[in-house]
Amino acid sequence: MSVSNVFKIFGRRQKEAVKRLRNGAKREDLTTAFGTAAVIDASFEVQKGEIFVVMGLSGSGKSTLIRMLNGLNPTTEGSVKVFGTEVVGLPIPELRELRRDRMSMVFQHFALLPHRTVIDNVAYGLEIQGVGLSERQETARHWIERVGLAGWEDSLPGELSGGMQQRVGLARAFAAGTDILLMDEAFSALDPLIRREMQEQLVELQRELGKTIVFITHDLNEAMFLGDRIAVMRDGRIVQQGTPNDILTDPANDYVAQFVQDVD
> Which positions lie near ligand ADP, rule CB under 6 A?
10, 36, 38, 56, 58-64
Q: Which of 16, 41, 42 is nearest to 30 (CA)?
A: 16
The interface region with Mg ion, picked from 62-70, 164-172, 193-201, 242-250 by CB under 5 A, is: 62-70
Q: Which of 61, 74, 55 is nearest to 226 (CA)?
A: 55
Contact between 55 and 242 under an 8 Å Cβ cutoff? The reply is no
- Could you say whether residue 31 binds Mg ion (CB under 5 A)? no
Taking only Cα atoms into account, the Rg of the chain, rounded to an integer number of angstroms, comes to: 19
Q: Rounded to an integer, what distance in angstroms lies between the CA atom of residue 163 and that of residue 202?
A: 13
> Among residues 11 and 49, whose Cβ is nearest to ligand ADP?
11
Smallest distance from the beta carbon of 147 to ligand ADP, in angstroms?
A: 25
Q: Rounded to an integer, what distance in angstroms lies between the CA atom of residue 87 and that of residue 3?
A: 10
Instruction: Out of 60, 63, 178, 212, point to the residue binding Mg ion (CB under 5 A).
Output: 63
Q: Rounded to an integer, what distance in angstroms lies between the CA atom of residue 133 and that of residue 143?
A: 15
Q: Rounded to an integer, what distance in angstroms lies between the CA atom of residue 240 and that of residue 118?
A: 40
Q: Quick one: what does residue 36 bind among Mg ion, ligand ADP, none, with the CB cut-off 5 to 8 Å set by partner type?
A: ligand ADP
Contact between 162 and 115 under an 8 Å Cβ cutoff? The reply is no
Helix pair angle (162-175, 192-209), 10° resolution: 10
* Burial (CB count <10 Å: 0-12, 13-18, 19+), residue 13: middle
> Among residues 56 and 244, whose Cβ is nearest to ligand ADP?
56
Smallest distance from the beta carbon of 187 to ligand ADP, in angstroms?
A: 15
Smallest distance from the beta carbon of 59 to ligand ADP, in angstroms?
A: 4
> Among residues 57 and 150, whose Cβ is nearest to ligand ADP?
57
Smallest distance from the beta carbon of 140 to ligand ADP, in angstroms?
A: 30
Smallest distance from the beta carbon of 38 to ligand ADP, in angstroms?
A: 3
> Among residues 131 and 183, whose Cβ is nearest to ligand ADP?
183
> Among residues 39 and 202, whose Cβ is nearest to ligand ADP?
39
> Among residues 120 and 184, whose Cβ is nearest to ligand ADP?
184
What are the residues binding Mg ion (CB under 5 A)?
A: 63
